[in-house]
Amino acid sequence: MPDIRPTAGSGALVLNATYEPLCVVSVRRAAILVLSAKAVCVADGEGILHSARNALPVPSVVRLTRYVRVPYRAHVGLSRRAIFARDGWRCAYCRGPAETIDHVFPRSRGGRHAWENVVAACARCNHTKGDKTPAELGWRLHHLPAAPKGNAWRVLGHRAPDPRWADWLDLREPEVEAA
Ligand SMILES: [Zn+2]
């Protein structure tokens, strides 16, 4: 078993044999894939892993040696962290730092808990909005909420990407704005 101290907590990106990004696993799991010849390392991270018989660079990106068929997951799970990540941790109404989740069409009036009806919001806007709709207040949404799309979201979710993965993930796809 590799002894993995250098980058505990970080992960490795797993690519299919076709270079399609699949998922993120622990560095330990990626190292086991490489040591068992189920994957080859295509990009190194930082540090060296030592096991009883081997030493290998910490894998940052590995590619499976055999193609695996994966069921396509079309929807990104709706979670608080994923909503904040999608909206760039900014309030959908005033663009200030967001700390709450707002249902655009209020839940109390039948609004759904779905990507299209949730936005990140600051506490002040959320409180002021109460159970009104933006239209009733004369407010405008900065952008229309939608489910995030793209490979990067499918693979990463709310996880921050390692810059070494950029070549394999189209990181321009998530509509998260820079400040
Ligand atoms: Zn606000």
Say how many Å lie between the CA of residue 127 and the centre of ligand 1.
9
The pLDDT of residue 158 is 67
Q: Which range is least confidently modeled, 58-72, 138-152, 154-168?
A: 154-168
Say how many Å lie between the CA of residue 60 and the centre of ligand 1.
38
Say how many Å lie between the CA of residue 77 and the centre of ligand 1.
24
Gap between the Cα atoms of 90 and 143, Å rounded: 11
Say how many Å lie between the CA of residue 30 and the centre of ligand 1.
42
Cβ atoms of 85 and 98 within 8 Å: the answer is no
The pLDDT of residue 142 is 84
Q: What does the DSSP assignment read for 135-173? A: HHHT---SS------SHHHHHHTTSPPPGGGTTTS-TT-
Q: Rg of the chain over CA atoms, in angstroms?
A: 20
Using the structure block, give the residue that is written with the tokens 């608080």. Answer: 80
Using the structure block, give the residue that is written with the tokens 């070549």. Answer: 167
Phi, psi of 134 (to 5 degrees): -55, -40
The pLDDT of residue 37 is 95
Q: Comparing C-alpha atoms, which of 171, 151, 165 is closest to residue 60?
A: 165
pLDDT digits (tens, 9 = 90+) for 48-103: 888 778 788 899 999 999 999 877 666 677 889 889 988 989 999 999 999 999 99
Say how many Å lie between the CA of residue 97 and the centre of ligand 1.
7
Gap between the Cα atoms of 50 and 56, Å rounded: 7
Q: Which residues of 41-51 are buried (b: 16+ CB within 10 A; e: fewer)?
A: bebebeeebee
**What is the value of pTM for the model shown?**
0.60
